[in-house]
């Protein structure tokens, strides 16, 4: 099997599986007796390690149940904590953010959208120069891999006192992330994107303004995310992040070289192929469009031959529609419905690239006949 969908999820690292197994028996870390204190010590160690790796203070690390949950808490919670009713968001946010913004819109929020160019990057940040309850901009887009101008966004939001949320789910573990240096109010990450367990998210949240809770309960995690924290998952997340950050420099160079090699081949071999991914971008992301080809057919034909990739277009109730991200970039259905996202990770080898090279020209040709 040739797995080339690391943006969807990446296999769990051995060190994370080890940490998960080692701490699977941990009790409630809020319990006062010895085993509770022991569980809490493991949790705090994971919190400290994550904080250090991401340039945050331990108190700013909030464990959540997913990246989606972290995004919801940040966007809805910062809005709820503000007196203002204005929201600023980019048009290419992941549904975890986009649907949170739409939910606020339905309750009366006024949304100003940051538009993007055909290269997938936000073009104009001036909406950030007027105060808002919350502004939100992703660090890197999950479809195209385009890295957004988050540093400038943070500077401009800070200048007018707007809390900024950054969805860094695709960025953490792949490119350097320093929460304090960035100056955002909140930042979301997800463990399964960097070799940690699925179902564990991270929200980095400055002390003030803090998001109001979206769910209420026992007041764990500064009251921002109530619910008993899974100690084993927290330890596994810290272990995976430490390994990902440790090998980042070497892995960036390695996957970028594989990506560039494949891109060069595709653009030279497949007629009318377009590389959607434009720099600055994540090193292991390659998004292509093959005008006139059917994305579902390409995925199916590759899958039949053991190659796993994904499309840019979303399938809703059996109707294939153009990806909202591509649409926001001004791309039409002829190009956008023939989109393929190929993403690389630490298990990707040169052999995997040769495998897809041998299949793709024929697959695209056949998918253009559908
Ligand atoms: N934000 C982005 C940019 C993502 O790519 C994803 C996952 O694909 C999420 C948020 C949601 O993360 P999770 O799968 O942990 O809910």
Instruction: Output the pLDDT for position 370.
Output: 86
For residue range 20-43, what is the model confidence (pLDDT) as tens digits? 999 999 999 999 999 999 999 999
Both 333 and 353 in a single domain? yes
Both 164 and 289 in a single domain? no
Choose the final residue of a domain: 213, 243, 273. 243
CATH number at residue 270: 3.90.1150.10
Asked whether residue 275 carries a pLDDT value surpassing 60, the answer given is yes
Q: Which of 12, 73, 94, 323 to mutate to test the pocket of ligand 1 (most atoms within 8 A of CB)?
A: 94
Band of pLDDT at residue 317, cut at 50, 70 and 90? low
Beta-bridged to residue 286, according to DSSP, are: 342
The fraction of the chain above a pLDDT of 90, given in percent, is 97
Q: Are 48 and 242 in contact (CB under 8 A)?
A: no
DSSP codes, 71-137: HHHHHHHHHHT-S--EEEEETT--HHHHHHHHHHHHTT-EEEEEPB-TTSSB---GGGGS--SEEE-
**What is the number of domains present in the chain?**
2
Both 291 and 173 in a single domain? no
Closest CA to ligand 1's atom 4:
169
Instruction: Give the distance (Å) from ligand 1 centre to CA of residue 325.
Output: 14
Both 123 and 198 in a single domain? yes
Asked whether residue 313 carries a pLDDT value surpassing 60, the answer given is no
Closest CA to ligand 1's atom 14:
67
Q: Relative to the CA of 66, which ligand 1 atom is closest?
A: 15
Mean local confidence (pLDDT), 310-315: 68
User: 230 CB less than 6 Å from ligand 1?
Assistant: no
Both 326 and 237 in a single domain? no
Band of pLDDT at residue 321, cut at 50, 70 and 90? confident
**Catalytic residue (one of 14, 315, 350, 358):** 315
User: 100 CB less than 6 Å from ligand 1?
Assistant: no
Choose the final residue of a domain: 213, 228, 243. 243
| pTM, to two decimals | 0.98
Both 194 and 269 in a single domain? no
Asked whether residue 320 carries a pLDDT value surpassing 70, the answer given is no
**C-alpha distances in angstroms, 360 versus 269, 270, 293, 308, 364?**
10, 8, 12, 12, 6
User: 169 CB less than 6 Å from ligand 1?
Assistant: yes
Beta-bridged to residue 281, according to DSSP, are: 146
Both 140 and 200 in a single domain? yes
Instruction: Output the pLDDT for position 52.
Output: 99
**Cis-peptide into 18, omega within 30 deg:** no
User: 276 CB less than 6 Å from ligand 1?
Assistant: no
What is the DSSP-derived secondary structure letter of residue 274?
Answer: E
Asked whether residue 123 carries a pLDDT value surpassing 80, the answer given is yes
For residue range 215-228, what is the model confidence (pLDDT) as tens digits? 999 999 999 999 99
User: Cα–Cα distance between 222 and 170 in angstroms, integer?
Assistant: 25
User: 165 CB less than 6 Å from ligand 1?
Assistant: no
Both 77 and 200 in a single domain? yes
Provide the CA 92 distance to its chain's centre, in angstroms.
12
Q: Which of 93, 193, 199, 281 to mutate to test the pocket of ligand 1 (most atoms within 8 A of CB)?
A: 193
Q: What is the mean pLDDT of the chain?
A: 97
For residue range 290-300, what is the model confidence (pLDDT) as tens digits? 999 999 999 99
Backbone angles phi, psi at 86, to 5 degrees: -100, 140
User: 313 CB less than 6 Å from ligand 1?
Assistant: no
For residue range 225-234, what is the model confidence (pLDDT) as tens digits? 999 999 999 9
For residue range 175-209, what is the model confidence (pLDDT) as tens digits? 999 999 999 999 999 999 999 999 999 999 999 99
Instruction: Give the domain range for residue 340.
Output: 2-7+248-368
Q: Which of 72, 73, 139, 142 to mutate to test the pocket of ligand 1 (most atoms within 8 A of CB)?
A: 142
User: 138 CB less than 6 Å from ligand 1?
Assistant: yes
Instruction: Give the distance (Å) from ligand 1 centre to CA of residue 366.
Output: 32
Both 229 and 253 in a single domain? no
- 315 catalytic? Reply is yes
Both 151 and 226 in a single domain? yes
CATH number at residue 66: 3.40.640.10
Both 87 and 196 in a single domain? yes
Helix (H) or strand (E) holding 50: helix 34-54
Q: Which of 71, 75, 169 to mutate to test the pocket of ligand 1 (most atoms within 8 A of CB)?
A: 169
279: Cβ–Cβ under 8 A, 6 or more apart, which residues? none
Q: Are 6 and 343 in contact (CB under 8 A)?
A: yes
Among 3, 63, 41, 37, residue whose Cα is nearest residue 234: 63
Closest CA to ligand 1's atom 13:
67
User: 196 CB less than 6 Å from ligand 1?
Assistant: no
Choose the final residue of a domain: 217, 243, 269. 243
Both 232 and 258 in a single domain? no
Helix (H) or strand (E) holding 22: helix 14-22
């Amino acid at each position: 099997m040739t797995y080339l969908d690391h943006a969807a999820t990446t296999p769990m690292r051995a060190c994370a599986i080890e940490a998960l197994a080692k701490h699977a028996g941990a009790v409630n870390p809020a319990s006062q007796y010895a085993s509770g204190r022991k569980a809490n010590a493991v949790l705090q160690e994971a919190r400290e390690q994550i904080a250090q790796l991401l340039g945050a203070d331990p108190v700013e690390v909030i464990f959540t149940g997913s990246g989606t949950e972290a995004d919801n808490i940040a966007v809805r919670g910062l809005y709820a904590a503000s007196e203002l009713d204005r929201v600023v968001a980019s048009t290419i946010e992941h549904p975890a953010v986009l649907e949170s913004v739409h939910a606020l819109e339905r309750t009366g929020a006024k949304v100003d959208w940051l538009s993007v160019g055909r290269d997938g990057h936000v073009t104009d940040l001036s909406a950030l120069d007027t105060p808002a309850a919350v502004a939100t901009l992703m660090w890197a887009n999950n479809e195209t891999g385009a890295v957004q101008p988050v540093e400038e966004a943070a500077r401009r939001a800070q200048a007018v006192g707007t809390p900024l949320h950054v969805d860094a789910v695709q960025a953490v573990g792949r490119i350097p992330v320093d929460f304090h240096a960035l100056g955002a109010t909140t930042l979301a990450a997800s463990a399964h994107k960097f070799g940690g367990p699925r179902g564990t998210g991270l929200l980095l949240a400055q002390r003030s303004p803090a998001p109001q809770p979206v769910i209420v309960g026992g007041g764990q995690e500064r009251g921002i995310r109530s619910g008993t924290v899974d100690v084993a998952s927290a330890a596994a997340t810290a272990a995976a992040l430490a390994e990902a950050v440790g090998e980042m420099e070497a892995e960036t160079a390695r996957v970028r070289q594989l990506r560039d090699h494949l891109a060069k081949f595709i653009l030279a071999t497949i007629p009318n192929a377009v590389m959607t991914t434009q720099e600055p971008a994540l090193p292991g992301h390659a998004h292509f469009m093959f005008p006139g080809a059917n994305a579902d057919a390409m995925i199916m034909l590759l899958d039949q031959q053991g190659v796993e990739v994904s499309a840019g277009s979303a399938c809703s109730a059996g109707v294939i529609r153009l990806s909202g991200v591509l649409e926001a970039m001004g791309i039409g259905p002829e190009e956008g419905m023939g989109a393929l996202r190929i993403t690389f990770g630490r298990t990707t080898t040169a052999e995997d690239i040769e495998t897809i090279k041998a299949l793709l020209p024929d697959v695209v040709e056949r998918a253009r006949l559908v």
